[in-house]
Amino acid sequence: MHSSYGRLLRAAAYSALTLALTSCNRPQPQAQSSASQPAAAANATSAVERGKYLVTLSGCNDCHSPKVFGPNGPQPDPARLLSGHPEDEKITAAFTPPAGSPWAAAASSDFTAWSGPWGISFAANLTPDTNTGLRSGVWTEDLFIKAIRTGKHMGTSRDILPPMPWPELSKLTDEDLKAIWAYLGTLKPVTNHVPEPIPPVAGTK
């Protein structure tokens, strides 16, 4: 009986030692998480770079960035990149063309406002400003994608007005639109209250 009891004790001790060694050699969840962090950071960086490339290629700065004059003429103002039509540059309905006119033209010298049969449209503030930009607490990545897909402001309300080329941008993949959203989130926030569109004035001549 004592011999059997001893064998049981030795077996229990061996099992405990094996369990302890196995636990020590088992990969720890925290270590796995740490190892995955560089890959996640690399993916985020890649998405931002892709977004910058797409924004540049699409000419978003042409309308959404106020301009300064450089050696070769007007160029995007680095201090107000993609911040939309300047709130202190007032444009009135007087710039609206006659009702039914097929013509459209820039209503501001830096191309941040446009006039046409739709009235007057103003380029939006695309910076991540929390009061007036795309990180104001209202916009989300999903809403941004929905707006581009549908041509509707906030994805549900008024039409996105010319000259915004949303029909072409809507052909981008979800991955591309998410990359653009990621890049816009890295811009310098600029507080700039872009005015609401001015509707066409019926009967103007």
| % of the chain at pLDDT higher than 90 | 60
For the chain, the structural domain boundaries read 57-184
Which has the closest alpha carbon to 134: 152, 161, 154, 151?
154
Q: For strand 113-116 and strand 119-122, is the pairing parallel, antiparallel, or unpaired? A: antiparallel
Instruction: Grade residue 40 by pLDDT with cuts at 50, 70 and 90.
Output: low
Kind plus residue range of the DSSP H or E element containing 113: strand 113-116
Instruction: Grade residue 201 by pLDDT with cuts at 50, 70 and 90.
Output: confident
pLDDT, tens only, 57-115: 999 999 999 999 999 888 999 999 999 999 999 998 777 776 667 788 899 989 999 99
- Please state, in angstroms and rounded to a whole number, the distance separating the CA atoms of residues 55 and 50: 9
Give the predicted TM-score (pTM) of the model.
0.76
pLDDT, tens only, 107-142: 998 999 999 999 999 999 999 999 999 988 889 999
pLDDT, tens only, 83-92: 999 999 999 8
Q: Flag the least confident range among 22-26, 50-54, 64-68, 100-104.
A: 22-26
Residue 174: phi and psi, rounded to 5, are -60, -40
Kindly tell me if the per-residue pLDDT of 180 is higher than 90: yes
Kindly tell me if the per-residue pLDDT of 29 is higher than 80: no
The torsion region of residue 155 among left (phi > 0), alpha (psi -120 to 50) and beta comes to: left
- Please state, in angstroms and rounded to a whole number, the distance separating the CA atoms of residues 120 and 97: 9
